[in-house]
């Protein structure tokens, strides 16, 4: 109860500045927390996450609570059921504090594509928190929740985690049920976790994992004991260092922070060796195209008739549909729908789509070869710390360029995480990425923990009281 109250108070004081939440539910949170306390008082065990405050990206549905997906088009939608992730976490006793802001339908890398206003980075409010799980990252970094659920299609959990100084875990594609998560590009979409510490992320992952017949892509097998393996160390492990990514124009401070992390891995007994993953503009284009093709077909249902509000105009169904979508969707979403629809049209589009599929097969093959030699890969998440608000808004290609080190694991369905590895001289968090073999979340977390145990960046918190004197007046 006390923890929930503390988070609610903090959100009351600071969320008007940071805009982590689109919808807060303090009454509901307090009543769930009270129930947990009552169970404890009766000597019952209320679950592994009992009383732990959480945020949920507003791309996952909760019965009776608005789910906007960051879009005007469905701002009035109140779903009649719970997402599998929310169901599982509620069963474990976690307490929902609110639905988190995001780039519209998960499309973006900065949080600035939310129709309800951008979330701000709590380390420096003139910067973006990253996206698309912007509000989820801000909620955790600012202390409004202990952990949050995001979604990651090309980097949307890992990149905001890096920009906000958190752990951001994208499990293997198919590891967690996506029932009740609004789809962007289902062949890459994953439910992901944002937390301060790896142990928390591992615990939440454990509570989330399990078969779900309502999502045909959700893995049936049991997940390995990620918590039990967490402290096993890396003494026997071979770690590949993504050399060509390290040479791809990183900020000097980012390069130094990753080099320092590599030294820590070495002193923990890991054997490091350079690997080449390849880095080319075609792959980023392929990712953008495949995501857009899937988005175009998924978003077809938001037509103002089945889902979404008719905003203006009367006339035939075609006109209604056009006005709902034209006025309801933001420019980033409309751009992707157009790109995806063109790519599936007869004629020239088709060849581009097939080239993109071939690129995807190629990147999978590269990872297969590399993972024959090493147990995990160490790489950057981004070339530098969080960028400034508005800096990349004018250029969609620069914006999606933020995914240039994260979309490969998404295309290949691999588990990957980002974690703090330092701070810039201006006090901004810097993130490091680790990528592992398919379904080896245990190995992934174990490698990450070996580093976390040798540094203390995860203990730092943004100076909100200094930034917003007087509780954010
Ligand atoms: N930034 C990428 C995009 O805009 C991926 C976002 C995500 O992972 N959901 O498409």
Condensed to tens digits (0 to 9), the pLDDT of residues 426-441 reads: 999 999 999 999 999 9
Of 324, 357, 390, which residue sits at a domain end?
357
At 340 the pLDDT is 93
User: Which among 110, 156, 172, 402 is annotated as catalytic?
Assistant: 156
Distance 141 CA to ligand 1 centre (A): 21
Looking at residue 106, what DSSP letter applies? G
**Residue 234 phi/psi, 5° resolution?**
-120, 15
Q: How many residues does the chain have?
A: 473
* Strands, E assignment, 201-246: 238-242
Ligand 1 test: best mutation among 109, 151, 190, most atoms within 8 Å of CB? 109
Q: Are residues 35 and 137 in the same domain?
A: yes
Q: Are residues 341 and 387 in the same domain?
A: no
Q: Mean pLDDT across the stretch 17-24?
A: 98
Q: Which residue lies with its CA nearest to atom 10 of ligand 1?
A: 107
Please state, for a pLDDT cut of 70, what percent of the chain lies above it: 98
Q: Are residues 22 and 126 in the same domain?
A: yes
CB atoms within 10 A of CB 363: 22
Residue-wise pLDDT for 216-258, tens only, equals 999 988 899 999 999 999 998 999 999 999 999 999 999 999 9
Q: Is 57 a catalytic residue?
A: yes
At 86 the pLDDT is 98
Q: Are residues 328 and 373 in the same domain?
A: no
Counting atoms of ligand 1 from 1, which one is nearest the CA of 184?
9
Q: Mean pLDDT across the stretch 453-471?
A: 89
Q: Mean pLDDT across the stretch 452-461?
A: 97
Q: Are residues 388 and 414 in the same domain?
A: yes
With a cut of 60, say whether residue 414 has pLDDT above it.
Answer: yes
* Strands, E assignment, 122-213: 147-152, 167-170, 190-195
At 313 the pLDDT is 60
Q: 3-class DSSP state for residue 172? A: coil
User: Which among 109, 114, 119, 132 is annotated as catalytic?
Assistant: 132
Distance 414 CA to ligand 1 centre (A): 16
At 293 the pLDDT is 95
Please report, for the domain that includes residue 416, its CATH number.
Answer: 3.90.1300.10
Q: Is 266 a catalytic residue?
A: no
Q: Mean pLDDT across the stretch 19-29?
A: 98
Q: Mean pLDDT across the stretch 70-98?
A: 96
Of 334, 357, 380, which residue sits at a domain end?
357
Q: Which two tokens stand for residue 463?
A: 């100076």
pLDDT classification of 472: cutoffs 50, 70, 90:
very low
At 301 the pLDDT is 84
Domain that holds residue 310: 281-357
Ligand 1 test: best mutation among 60, 70, 111, 132, most atoms within 8 Å of CB? 132
* Average pLDDT value over all residues in the chain: 94
Counting atoms of ligand 1 from 1, which one is nearest the CA of 156?
8
Ligand 1 test: best mutation among 59, 184, 286, 416, most atoms within 8 Å of CB? 184
Distance 132 CA to ligand 1 centre (A): 6
Distant-in-sequence, close-in-space partners of 219: CB < 8 Å, separation ≥ 6: 172, 174, 175, 211, 439
With a cut of 70, say whether residue 185 has pLDDT above it.
Answer: yes
The whole-angstrom separation of Cα 308 and Cα 230 is: 44
At 222 the pLDDT is 84
Cis peptide before 132 (omega within 30 of 0): yes
Counting atoms of ligand 1 from 1, which one is nearest the CA of 410?
8
Counting atoms of ligand 1 from 1, which one is nearest the CA of 151?
9
Q: Which residue lies with its CA nearest to atom 5 of ligand 1?
A: 154
Nearest to 245 by CA among 277, 284, 216, 293: 277
Q: Are residues 257 and 348 in the same domain?
A: no
Q: 3-class DSSP state for residue 434? A: strand
At 470 the pLDDT is 55
Counting atoms of ligand 1 from 1, which one is nearest the CA of 154?
8
Q: Are residues 370 and 297 in the same domain?
A: no
Of 296, 329, 357, which residue sits at a domain end?
357
Counting atoms of ligand 1 from 1, which one is nearest the CA of 291?
10
- Provide the whole-model pTM: 0.96
Distance 381 CA to ligand 1 centre (A): 14
Q: Is 172 a catalytic residue?
A: no
Q: Are residues 252 and 324 in the same domain?
A: no
CB 161 within 8 A of CB 167: yes
Distance 1 CA to ligand 1 centre (A): 35
Q: Are residues 254 and 324 in the same domain?
A: no
pLDDT classification of 279: cutoffs 50, 70, 90:
confident
pLDDT classification of 473: cutoffs 50, 70, 90:
very low
User: DSSP 3-state helix, strand, coil percentages of the chain (rounded to 5)?
Assistant: 40, 15, 45
At 15 the pLDDT is 97
The whole-angstrom separation of Cα 379 and Cα 421 is: 11
Q: Are residues 267 and 403 in the same domain?
A: yes
Q: Are residues 270 and 312 in the same domain?
A: no
Distance 39 CA to ligand 1 centre (A): 41
pLDDT classification of 314: cutoffs 50, 70, 90:
low
Q: Which two tokens stand for residue 200?
A: 């928390």
Distance 404 CA to ligand 1 centre (A): 11
The count of structural domains within the chain is 2
User: Which among 57, 109, 119, 402 is annotated as catalytic?
Assistant: 57
Protein residues whose CB sits closer than 6 Å to any atom of ligand 1: 106-109, 132, 152-156, 184, 291, 400, 403
Q: Are residues 211 and 286 in the same domain?
A: no
Ligand 1 test: best mutation among 103, 105, 157, most atoms within 8 Å of CB? 103
Distance 467 CA to ligand 1 centre (A): 29
């Amino acid at each position: 109860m006390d923890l929930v109250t503390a988070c609610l108070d903090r959100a009351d004081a600071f969320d008007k500045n940071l805009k982590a939440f689109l919808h807060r539910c303090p009454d509901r949170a307090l009543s769930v927390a009270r129930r947990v306390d009552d169970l404890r008082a009766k000597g019952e065990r209320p679950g592994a996450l009992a009383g732990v405050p959480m945020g949920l990206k507003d791309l996952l549905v909760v019965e009776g609570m608005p789910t906007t997906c960051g879009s005007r088009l469905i701002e009035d939608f109140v779903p009649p059921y719970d997402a599998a992730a929310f169901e599982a976490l509620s069963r474990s006793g976690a307490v929902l504090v609110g639905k988190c802001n995001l780039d519209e339908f998960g499309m973006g890398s900065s949080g600035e594509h939310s129709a309800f206003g951008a979330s701000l980075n709590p380390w420096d409010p003139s910067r973006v928190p990253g996206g698309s799980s912007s509000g989820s990252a801000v909620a955790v970094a600012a202390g409004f929740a202990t952990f949050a659920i995001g979604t990651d299609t090309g980097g949307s959990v890992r990149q905001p985690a890096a920009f906000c100084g958190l752990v951001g875990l994208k499990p293997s594609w198919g590891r967690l049920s996506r029932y009740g998560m609004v789809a962007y590009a289902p062949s890459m979409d994953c439910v992901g976790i944002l937390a301060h510490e790896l142990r928390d992320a591992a615990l939440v992952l454990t509570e989330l994992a399990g078969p779900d017949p309502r999502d045909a892509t959700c893995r049936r097998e049991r997940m390995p004991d990620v918590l039990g393996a967490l402290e096993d160390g890396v003494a026997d492990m071979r770690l590949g260092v993504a050399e060509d990514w390290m040479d791809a124009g990183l900020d000097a401070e980012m390069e130094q922070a990753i080099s320092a992390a590599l030294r820590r891995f070495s002193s923990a007994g890991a054997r490091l060796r350079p690997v080449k993953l390849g880095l080319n503009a075609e792959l980023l284009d392929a990712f953008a195209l495949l995501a857009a093709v899937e988005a175009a077909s998924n978003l077809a249902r938001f037509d103002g008739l089945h889902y979404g509000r008719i905003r203006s105009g009367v006339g035939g169904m075609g006109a209604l549909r056009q006005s709902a979508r034209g006025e309801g969707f933001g420019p980033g979403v409309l751009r992707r729908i157009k790109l995806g629809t063109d790519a599936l049209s007869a004629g020239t589009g088709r060849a581009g789509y097939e080239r993109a599929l071939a690129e995807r097969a190629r990147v999978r093959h590269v990872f297969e070869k590399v993972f024959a030699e090493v147990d995990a890969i160490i790489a950057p998440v981004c070339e530098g710390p969080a960028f400034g608000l508005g800096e990349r808004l004018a250029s969609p290609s620069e914006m999606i360029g933020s995914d240039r080190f994260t979309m490969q694991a998404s295309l290949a369905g691999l588990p990957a995480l980002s974690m703090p590895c330092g701070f810039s001289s201006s006090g901004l968090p810097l993130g490091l990425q680790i990528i592992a073999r398919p379904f080896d979340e245990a190995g992934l977390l174990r490698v990450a923990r070996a580093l976390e145990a040798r540094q203390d960046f995860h203990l730092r918190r943004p100076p909100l009281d200094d930034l917003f004197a007087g509780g954010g007046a």
